[in-house]
Structure 1
């Protein structure tokens, strides 16, 4: 299949003005394929040659101005068109194939009740899997969809959709949209409808999740309405579509997708087991993130994929900020979770060889295949951090004024980075263009370190910068009280680089925390006195966001080889049992378990690392016996399970159906325990099958696949490997679950023979099944626990494989860099 190049898109955009699509889909023709008919009305500004894109199972006919085209001329995904100047109508009839990879029109049959559901994910190039289109973001058009669906199904789309007397479902014509925003979701949905601000709102899920959606509906709708109202306070342009539906769909690859008027979410956000308030906050943030896209992305859309950060960074920043403002009665400070969890994604991505500017040069994104690689921690987390710093430097009033100019000038059109910066500059006297060059066109992470000199009650604070970006920060100045608490003396606003050191009055501070408040994007280090105070007194810092900043600095010190992993665990053991902020406990335990215990300590040190994590978890369990902190207790239970080195305790929980002192085991905890027992060789296929019968859901199906792949026998590993790479039967979610079970640190020797087999198998898989599955293979099926020089050299030798598709190549570059970092930390 040919990828679309930027040059080709520019040429076609100069030639064509696309007006209207009429798309008719027939979903009643079987479980494997569906019928698709497109009628496209457009104007050619001059005579010329171009093409329309489609990826059909069968192309039945194509007519240009009622004249048949040669359908054998279809070359990959391109049907050539020779146009005269003027208006044209293109009619194309195809049979299309349903997907099981989360791309195009994905079809899912619920194992709980046998009901089937379909939904579209048309991002980047996948509209071509559903209907023929001039598939690029700057050829916007009106879309009018009709869908023939099986009896008993409901069809959702971008606009209000109603069933006609002949049984077809007709969606209202859309405003001007890019092709990748068109959405259809069809099936026997469980639906809850309401109205807000004069618009119909709806939430939808598959029937087997109805009770769980009902339980959370009030919260989901309250968040949705609060964010909607808050955006209307911020933005001058009103919500631009005729309804707002949110569909929680199965086997969804992303967190969510901002289809105008019909946002699709992964249906794990319909919680069927107990979750923490932080996980509910994450769902709220995703709701807010996708709603922000209704303006930034949908109303005003990028012209080419080099500006994807404009969509994602903005929505990421607005998602966290808006939940913080509009839903503070439901959730704690969202920026704590962003700082300790999400921001790490950006820091890690920005220190790999694959790093790129937040806003890459257009020449660095020459085609759609390269554009797909930029959906990463830089476009999301680093970009959001940069915008947060911009707001701190510019002021929110001027920032929002610039945003509203942007919306007004480009609504229902396309815009570029240059447009965005010009519109911000129109609202302020500050040099936004220079700021953008320094922040958006550069790569890497700066490091800031405090340095104090003076004596008595007069001290000067210098900020040493390793890097090139300007920063507006707060420096927190702390003194240790007799009771050990690190009390805030003052927060001082600083611009880095400094024109002069900051003058401090009083005794030498016991602790200086740069970037207190986490308003910029940088790594931090401490002066010698502050480092001792921070590491020994971390839990005595009153503000949770300041503690998050210190924990982040410690994580970076471990990753950079400046703090031994064992020391990090020692400090976690000293401070986490006293921590009150759930997001911090989850973030620190997650890093300790998945990075330190699994990758950064040597094999012979791993039992001690797991023991330390288990001790932290048990301390938290003791602290939460009164039932006052259920989220903290649930986090501790999960950590106890994941760090278990012997099966007895967690096996007794499974047998009894409860943790002593609570909670009772729900499906998530039962599968978590069984997966750990499988790794430890303390269960078998009979028990897994019985648990699968107990939980016949899709999640149970995935849990069983994960457990079977985790069993420490040659037969189990051979079967799992075969299902991953020797056939294409697994859906995207079942592939992921199986891959997650296959590689385990405890089983490194058992699976060593598969390490060299991975590369050839993954390349072949990517070639057969495309970028979504290639990315899944690189992310989940990579031999991450083979941490040795031989494995690193083997992986690097395969990076030159010309058959490797870009999505897999990028993922392997990142994985091998992480492996190299782990190896370096182990040998420091």
Structure 2
């Protein structure tokens, strides 16, 4: 279907003033189709031609001001309209298709109990899959909605939903909404399990499918406590009160994103209803997502971007405020460490690929919705949030919040641009915020700050060399070995430095510290390089750095050096082997171990070196388990669980895994819950140490949706030609898999251990994946080019195949972007391997 261009959106916005939608949905027509009737009241400012978007199974009727329109004129999901000046009413009656890809109106049947659920995901241009609309963010309108559903269902929406009429009719009425952009309209319906309460006079509720009810009930107090605390903190820092009439949080199945900020009805992927053991960091991450989506009620929902070039106005702010508010309002005071070890690397990686872009692309750079969709990445989220954290450090929180509140007041229930926001900030500071925005938000790439130190005559000095040109307000930590315990480091001094505006040479009394750490506290977005003496200290004493956030900065520096070919992957592994067993913060272990296991062992090292890398990781994790055996607390539990997961994924023989599975526990814990059992069975499948009958038995034990995904992954992971062919046909020859089952199957399929067995499928990917993306759309394109990409083949042939595909196969925009990023990562892996080989030689 054609995508909406910026020019088309601007033209339509000049023509139309949209006032009101009345949407009526009928969810009782079976499991394939639902009824959708839409009435739109709007004004044409002058005579002109435009179009309405809709993607129906059948267009039954369309009338403009009571006059019928010809359904045959609907082409490429656009219904043309010729308008006279003045008021108009457009009515459209359709049947729509349910989706199984998380787009539009997604329908899911829970294999645990056979109950069905539906929910909408309208972002970015999928409202036309649910009801007819003028689908662009700057045509806001109020909404009234009615929904007919099976009588045992509950209906949720952006506003308070009330059952009307006899219960057997299943009729629901939603209160009139505030002005909303089309992509924020939301519905969810099904036999939900709900936990309801009230806070500050507003109804709050949590919802999940019934099979997850015990798990939601177990965590409801924690989720609601975080929700209340964040809600109250936002009211402390924002002048504008919460702008909607209710706050529902629905945990929905097979959701493509982490969550979606629909006003009054936030939808989350229901993996956040934990059915198995999780780490404290994973609970913290759920808290961050809760805070992030609540921030969107102001950043995005109250004040919305005008066009998709300003998605950072939504996502960067919600990302920053999510961490900022969670750290200040809840017990998760250390969440910035997780941001440093997990989110920032996402931004750094994206910013060093050819597909990089500014946080805020220049006007005109985002020409249509297809190109805009590609910008929802680590730059718009992690880099943008990092830039805002740096802005607060540079500007001061008081002036930052004053500018934000001014922005809300000036654009309440309207749309805004980067220029509008910068203007609001500029009214509350003497600093040149326009110049800051130009250099930080309009340019791409990562700066590098390098420390150069020396000492003479009782003084030590620091020079900061900068590759790049952004201004940075950083803290510098000076650490010494503790004379009483040389294995410990103590902070001698921490001072702030402006680079490059301030003095980039700092002279201080005393001897040179053992460790000089730039960006201590992680307040800016940059790669750092240590002076040689500090790097030597890091290799021997990283775990002795007292602050977890400082340790996170050092681990990121080591990670960057590996990726840039400056540090041998084996050296990173040795540092992990030395220091992770002493680690006390699970967020660091959860950042370092997956990088070592996936990127280093599977991609950056030559296959001949992989067994030794897996052995090193196995020894590391056993040591971590030994050292945490007598400890207690949430962090210790998280460290043990992270170690067990890595041990499972690194096993090269089945004996230990089989013993754990038979015993139902790891010695001294943790016990094997369903997720750990599936993880072990998947690794046994890779090793050829399980059978289809074992997989079927485990599925009988856990017939949940997650169990179905675990079984799909295990079957695809079997080292059997027939199993691989069946999995491939399921992935690419049929269109029945949901997005989650596709992802699970793809994750099982590609394994380094099956390099020769799967090589023919490596070649087939470059013809079959483009065809799939064309048939099934962006969500499945992302899955095919993410976990579905043939990662084990780190070689020039794979790179050549990918470049040929980009050049000749005309992949869809979504697949093109994801494939280009995969090839960029492949080139980097080849470069790292080459540098490592040269160093070894």
Q: Secondary structure at the match of 1:137?
A: coil
Shift of 1:74: 0.3
Q: Secondary structure at the match of 1:538?
A: helix
Aligned pair partner of 1:696 in 681, 703, 707: 703
The match for 1:96 is: 96
Aligned pair partner of 1:613 in 613, 617, 633: 617
Alignment CA distance shift 1:762-1:500 (3 Å): closer
CA–CA distance in structure 1, aligned partners of residues 333 and 408 of structure 2: 31
Residues 316-367 of structure 1: CA deviation (Å, up to 9, x unaligned): 0000111100112xx2401000001110000000000000000001221100
The match for 2:647 is: 640
The match for 2:834 is: 827
**Is 1:769 matched with 2:776?**
yes
Q: TM-score, normalised by structure 1?
A: 0.99
Q: Secondary structure at the match of 1:364?
A: coil
Residues 469-489 of structure 1: CA deviation (Å, up to 9, x unaligned): 010000111112232222111
The match for 1:600 is: 604
The match for 2:315 is: 312
The match for 1:353 is: 354
Counterpart contact for 2:204–2:246, Cα < 8 Å? yes
The match for 1:432 is: 433
Shift of 1:195: 0.3
Q: Secondary structure at the match of 1:151?
A: coil
The match for 2:587 is: 583
CA–CA distance in structure 2, aligned partners of residues 363 and 757 of structure 1: 37
Counterpart contact for 1:460–1:502, Cα < 8 Å? yes
Residues 730-783 of structure 1: CA deviation (Å, up to 9, x unaligned): 000000000001101111111001111101111110110111111111111111
**Is 1:146 matched with 2:146?**
yes
The match for 2:839 is: none
Counterpart contact for 2:717–2:748, Cα < 8 Å? yes
Shift of 1:429: 0.6
CA–CA distance in structure 1, aligned partners of residues 347 and 566 of structure 2: 20
Worse overlay, 816-825 or 229-238:
816-825
Aligned pair partner of 1:281 in 266, 273, 284: 284
The match for 2:186 is: 183
Q: Secondary structure at the match of 2:390?
A: helix
Where structure 1 has 5 or more consecutive residues not aligned to the other structure, the ranges are none
**Is 1:298 matched with 2:301?**
yes
Q: What are the residue-to-residue correspondences of 1:421-570 with 2, within 5 Å?
A: 421-482=422-483, 483-484=485-486, 485-497=488-500, 498-570=502-574
Counterpart contact for 1:457–1:508, Cα < 8 Å? no
CA–CA distance in structure 2, aligned partners of residues 827 and 676 of structure 1: 30
Aligned pair partner of 2:226 in 223, 230, 237: 223
Worse overlay, 257-266 or 801-810:
801-810
CA–CA distance in structure 2, aligned partners of residues 447 and 609 of structure 1: 29
Counterpart contact for 1:675–1:707, Cα < 8 Å? yes
CA–CA distance in structure 2, aligned partners of residues 163 and 554 of structure 1: 58
Q: What are the residue-to-residue correspondences of 1:125-204 with 2, within 5 Å?
A: 125-166=125-166, 167=169, 168-204=171-207
Q: Secondary structure at the match of 1:253?
A: coil
Counterpart contact for 1:250–1:267, Cα < 8 Å? yes
Residues 712-736 of structure 1: CA deviation (Å, up to 9, x unaligned): 1111110000000000010000000
Q: TM-score, normalised by structure 2?
A: 0.98
Q: Secondary structure at the match of 1:362?
A: coil
The match for 2:401 is: 400
Shift of 1:271: 0.2
Counterpart contact for 2:455–2:511, Cα < 8 Å? no
CA–CA distance in structure 2, aligned partners of residues 620 and 491 of structure 1: 31
Q: What are the residue-to-residue correspondences of 1:613-762 with 2, within 5 Å?
A: 613-626=617-630, 628=632, 629-762=636-769
The match for 1:23 is: 23
Counterpart contact for 2:15–2:45, Cα < 8 Å? yes
Residues 371-425 of structure 1: CA deviation (Å, up to 9, x unaligned): 0000000000000000000000000000000000000000100000000000011
Counterpart contact for 1:456–1:508, Cα < 8 Å? no
CA–CA distance in structure 2, aligned partners of residues 296 and 513 of structure 1: 34
Shift of 1:637: 1.1
Residues 634-680 of structure 1: CA deviation (Å, up to 9, x unaligned): 11111111111110001111111111112211000000000000001
Q: What are the residue-to-residue correspondences of 1:22-101 with 2, within 5 Å?
A: 22-101=22-101
Shift of 1:85: 0.2
Counterpart contact for 1:767–1:803, Cα < 8 Å? no
CA–CA distance in structure 1, aligned partners of residues 24 and 710 of structure 2: 38
Counterpart contact for 2:497–2:503, Cα < 8 Å? no
Counterpart contact for 1:25–1:147, Cα < 8 Å? yes
Residues 89-111 of structure 1: CA deviation (Å, up to 9, x unaligned): 00000000000000000000000
Shift of 1:151: 1.7
Residues 287-338 of structure 1: CA deviation (Å, up to 9, x unaligned): 000000000000000000000011000000000111100112xx24010000
Q: Secondary structure at the match of 2:453?
A: strand
Shift of 1:215: 0.1
Counterpart contact for 2:6–2:307, Cα < 8 Å? yes
Alignment CA distance shift 1:786-1:408 (3 Å): same
**Is 1:780 matched with 2:787?**
yes
CA–CA distance in structure 1, aligned partners of residues 186 and 454 of structure 2: 61
Shift of 1:499: 3.2
Counterpart contact for 1:6–1:366, Cα < 8 Å? yes
CA–CA distance in structure 2, aligned partners of residues 803 and 512 of structure 1: 50
Residues 134-168 of structure 1: CA deviation (Å, up to 9, x unaligned): 00000000011100001200000000000001431
Q: Secondary structure at the match of 1:263?
A: strand
Q: Secondary structure at the match of 1:606?
A: helix
Counterpart contact for 2:497–2:504, Cα < 8 Å? no
CA–CA distance in structure 2, aligned partners of residues 706 and 362 of structure 1: 44
CA–CA distance in structure 2, aligned partners of residues 800 and 71 of structure 1: 38
Shift of 1:54: 0.1
Counterpart contact for 2:305–2:415, Cα < 8 Å? yes
The match for 2:275 is: 272
Counterpart contact for 2:19–2:41, Cα < 8 Å? yes
Counterpart contact for 1:455–1:508, Cα < 8 Å? no
| Moved >4 Å (runs of 4+) | none
CA–CA distance in structure 2, aligned partners of residues 479 and 304 of structure 1: 51
Shift of 1:803: 3.1
Q: Secondary structure at the match of 2:12?
A: helix
Shift of 1:456: 3.2
CA–CA distance in structure 2, aligned partners of residues 775 and 230 of structure 1: 36
**Is 1:797 matched with 2:801?**
no
Worse overlay, 189-198 or 776-785:
776-785
CA–CA distance in structure 2, aligned partners of residues 144 and 394 of structure 1: 42
Q: Secondary structure at the match of 2:657?
A: helix
Q: Secondary structure at the match of 1:749?
A: helix
CA–CA distance in structure 2, aligned partners of residues 775 and 714 of structure 1: 26
Q: Across the two proteins, how many residue pairs are aligned to each other?
A: 826
Worse overlay, 473-482 or 552-561:
473-482
Q: Secondary structure at the match of 1:271?
A: coil
Shift of 1:461: 1.0
Residues 765-820 of structure 1: CA deviation (Å, up to 9, x unaligned): 01101111111111111111100111111111111235311000000000011111
Q: Secondary structure at the match of 1:631?
A: helix
Counterpart contact for 1:206–1:249, Cα < 8 Å? yes
CA–CA distance in structure 1, aligned partners of residues 822 and 282 of structure 2: 27
